[in-house]
Structure 1
Amino acid sequence: MSGRGRAGMGQGMRRRSLTVLAVLTVAAVGVTGCDAVGGDSPPGEEKKAQPAPRPTPVWDRSPDSVAAVGDSITRGFDACTVLSDCPEVSWATGTSPEVASLALRLLGGDRAVSHSWNYAKTGARMADLPGQMAQAATRLPELVTVLAGANDACRESPESMTPVADFRDDFEDAVATLRRAAPKAQLYVSSVPDLKRLWSEGRTNPLGKQVWKLGICPSMLADADVVDAAATARRESVQQRVEDYNGVLREVCEADERCRFDDGAVYEYRFGTDQLSHWDWFHPSKNGQARLAEIAYEAVTAKEG
């Protein structure tokens, strides 16, 4: 065979080899493509993406236990008898059906007794809250309620009110205390009530004004009928401090994913004389305690914080 013939034969063999290689390559690519959409999927049909599992909500709208910290409001002070605590009508953990406390609404009668605890103290200020929170945390509650700050504003004079920076430090300390001992506990924080409105409502009752002279919130309630420039400025400074406190409560709570602030609902609630104690015309009556319980229940069970 001539050299040209052998060369032609070699070129033909190389062409056939390249053809076979191309076919095998196409087949391999085809197999790989089938695997990408699922080996059993019909041609042209892509595998549907599986939906990502929904994350478990951080906030539990039906906690199984409740602990309360705070001041005289949460102790039901002056709601039953004069100048006395009455925790059974507390908005947070009370057992009175007349009030229907947050604990009663969330837990039911028997469990409200066995699975709720009230560590609030009459006269307590924000500086007392870390200690109360440490006590509450020992119970490992699923929900802790906070209503504190009125006594920080209710001092002998506006000059002796708790500075806002100290108020913030004490509240942050209280939250940190809870988080160290009970990191998954939920926190419901109530705003400080509108003290100026309580003054304007309570001053209509002569008996209430006599009780105020015993020393109830003098920075706001002293000389209840005096409305001159100095008295007005004094009350306005107290009111501004309450609003500043509520700003702190909101900001600190927003920094904690397991905390819900009431968004100012208690501060904005227009307490009337029916909601005020008929012993001192300043603290919540049983009716007022029931209104606080309603506000708290709506906040705790809301779908979004």
Structure 2
Amino acid sequence: MRKRNRRVRAVLAVTSAAVLGLAGCDALGGGDDPGTSGAGARRAKASQAPLWDTSPVSMAAVGDSITRGFDACTVLQDCPAASWATGASAEVNSLAVRLLGASKAATHSWNYAVTGSRMADLAGQMTQAAAEKPQLVTVMAGANDACRESPAAMTSVAAFRSGFEDAMGTLRRSLPKAQVYVASVPNLKRLWSQGRTNALGKQIWKLGICPSMLGDADALDAAATARRDTVQQRVEDYNRVLKEVCAKDARCRFDGGAVYDFRFGTDQLSHWDWFHPSVNGQARLAEIAYRRVTEPVT
């Protein structure tokens, strides 16, 4: 009996030592449990890192005349220095300057927007932007898809969606981890209602600025009202597309309609065409973008 007890105690002692040895190995980070310290913990921590960085160190901008600062400084000309996205103007305090600082913005931000471009042109701009390997890409496009010769000539909603998906796909094939900020299309009907109070601005409009909305600016008959409402509905449809496509990408942030909702007044409109943003208006766009880009991850 005493011999059997000694054997039992010996087996228990060996088993305990083995169990303690295994526990000690995990405690030192040598186990496979990803919740412990060591390599497993580092992998777990990396997998939990937020997908959105509120302080990117480089950025590129794509889009249309608004991002080129058209009519902000000189009549019927681009003014990239006043761009809400990448401009160097102290009055604008662009998104790039706010994020990177003035000196770094000069070397680590790029503007590939083109005045007059539509959504179908965005993929080409994305290709150029991707070559710079920016951490953030800003998108503001769609106004020219609605600003056509007539409502019938506007880009269809389906084609607009296809163009935006193509542009995002183009970027993702080169830069799968780049962040994307997408601004909503401005409220074109509100821009018409503000600008039509200025006689000079209406003369500039006759040169061909957004005729689907701004043509016959003083006409308030049923046909003119229906035309403008049709354009406005198309803008709202475009914004729905931007929101939906962006929502499918974990590294994309839509502005939630902030640009569309912004109430541009005469101070925020170019005093050459009373339609595009002035320097003041560009600064407001930069503020909107900065708030969204730096919004804490929840």
Query: TM-score with structure 1 length normalisation?
Result: 0.86
Query: 1:122 — aligned with what?
Result: 115
Indicate whether 1:255 and 2:248 are aligned: yes
- Could you tell me the percent identity over the aligned residues? 68
**Partners of 1:193 and 1:304 in 2: CA distance:** 26
Q: How far is the alpha carbon of 1:185 from its aligned partner?
A: 1.6
**Partners of 1:24 and 1:196 in 2: CA distance:** 89
SS of the residue aligned with 2:288? helix
Post-superposition CA distance 1:254-283 (Å, at most 9, x none): 111211111111111111111000101100
Query: 1:45 — aligned with what?
Result: none
Query: 2:209 — aligned with what?
Result: 216
Q: How far is the alpha carbon of 1:27 from its aligned partner?
A: 5.2
**Partners of 2:11 and 2:136 in 1: CA distance:** 65
Indicate whether 1:97 and 2:83 are aligned: no
Query: 2:32 — aligned with what?
Result: none
**Partners of 2:269 and 2:105 in 1: CA distance:** 25
Query: 1:191 — aligned with what?
Result: 184
Indicate whether 1:139 and 2:132 are aligned: yes
Amino acid at match of 1:273: T
Q: How far is the alpha carbon of 1:200 from its aligned partner?
A: 1.0
Alignment of 1:136-215 (within 5 A): 136-215=129-208
Alignment of 1:25-36 (within 5 A): 34=20
**Partners of 1:156 and 1:198 in 2: CA distance:** 17
Indicate whether 1:53 and 2:53 are aligned: no
Q: How far is the alpha carbon of 1:296 from its aligned partner?
A: 0.7
**Partners of 2:99 and 2:36 in 1: CA distance:** 40
Query: 2:75 — aligned with what?
Result: 82
- Number of equivalent positions: 284
**Partners of 1:26 and 1:131 in 2: CA distance:** 72
Amino acid at match of 1:250: K
SS of the residue aligned with 2:103? helix
1:30–1:171 Cα change, 3 Å: same
Q: How far is the alpha carbon of 1:158 from its aligned partner?
A: 0.8
Amino acid at match of 1:75: R
Q: How far is the alpha carbon of 1:34 from its aligned partner?
A: 5.0
**Partners of 1:49 and 1:58 in 2: CA distance:** 23
SS of the residue aligned with 2:181? strand
1:141–1:30 Cα change, 3 Å: closer
Query: 2:66 — aligned with what?
Result: 73
Q: How far is the alpha carbon of 1:248 from its aligned partner?
A: 0.8
Q: Which runs of 5+ in 2 are unaligned?
A: 28-34
**Partners of 1:49 and 1:187 in 2: CA distance:** 34
Q: Which runs of 5+ in 1 are unaligned?
A: 1-14, 42-47
SS of the residue aligned with 2:61? strand
Query: 2:279 — aligned with what?
Result: 286
Query: 1:12 — aligned with what?
Result: none
Q: How far is the alpha carbon of 1:206 from its aligned partner?
A: 1.4
| Equivalent of residue 226 in structure 2, options 227, 233, 240 | 233
**Partners of 2:183 and 2:201 in 1: CA distance:** 25
**Partners of 1:294 and 1:128 in 2: CA distance:** 26
Amino acid at match of 2:151: P
Larger radius of gyration: 1
SS of the residue aligned with 1:53? helix
Q: How far is the alpha carbon of 1:106 from its aligned partner?
A: 1.0
Post-superposition CA distance 1:52-101 (Å, at most 9, x none): 53622221211111111110000100111111111100000100101000
RMSD: 2.2
Amino acid at match of 1:63: P
**Partners of 1:195 and 1:304 in 2: CA distance:** 31
